[in-house]
Homo-oligomer: A and B are copies of this chain.
């Protein structure tokens, strides 16, 4: 068999671990892997090379993706799907393995739904960890590690300066990174999209800490968190309850409100692209490796339109459509539990 392998959307650490695993498993079983350049763009434009074991040598600990990535969506441009079909035919591709988040895997799902179908399977990879039906997506554990390390760093400076430190992390639709890193990094206040926040309540909590002699507090906020009564208008614009535009991101907004409302010196840090870079954790490398092997097994079993998922300690296939149906929210029990820690 000949497998086309691509990575789409925002890059994540440990994606290379999955690429390596796909190649090594395929090679062992006698298949050929074509490495597609820049996600779906490379499928449309027929840019790919054979990936052999030399090509994946030494990539296990490296961040990013050796294949390159893009946000190109063939169903959002004229003739995109047809171009992919032409590439599949021209290159005699038997199956596509797509690594990415909801957008990238959404394309894979639609390709499987064409008549006749273009067979594809998906590997979940998004530092937001908001894909449904899998406990973990590739990159999440590393992003949490980096955000936790940032909280550790902010902790010492907050304590030395008796300040409120706000850290903004990724999570437009779900607050997995904020909640997990917040708990692991000892944040006093954790704000996620799943639960609108109230500035008054934040000030109360900070004050409670001051009452017991803690003159500093750490706040971690997911980029998609919104104030009670407010509204997130678009990716780049949001308002508070008074209709005021929230400039400079939610982190800046919260810093300003704590300063104004609670009357405390506040500093804001936006973790930004640091979250998706660098060396993957051991957890993510193992996850990527297991998912990569399992994806080839799905292809071998002819089980398309599916995603390999981690559930508990096991890797299982789930229908792609199920995984994409809705954003996976944070565990409400975990969110409640966070209330204990301040």
Contacts and interface: CB of A to CB of B under 8 A. Distances in A.
A165 to B, nearest CB: 7
A149 B278 contact: yes
Interface residues of A, number: 76
Contact of A11 (B161, B270, B272, B311): B161
A244 interface: no
Interface string A266-292: 011110111011100111011001100
Contacts of A270: 269-270, 272
A281 B145 contact: yes
A145 B61 CA distance: 12
Q: Which of A144, A147, A273, A334 has the most CB of B within 10 A?
A: A273
Nearest to A159: B64
Contacts of A273: 153-154, 157, 165, 267, 269
B277 A184 contact: no
Interface in A286-342: 286, 289-290, 293, 311-313, 331, 334, 337, 340-341
A180 interface: yes
Given A152-B277, A155-B277, A283 B285 contact: no
A226 interface: no
Interface in A62-111: 62-65, 68-70
Given A63-B156, A154-B277, A156-B277, 20 more contacts: A11-B161, A64-B160, A70-B161, A141-B283, A145-B282, A149-B278, A152-B277, A153-B276, A153-B277, A153-B278, A157-B273, A157-B276, A180-B286, A183-B289, A270-B270, A281-B283, A283-B283, A289-B341, A290-B334, A290-B337
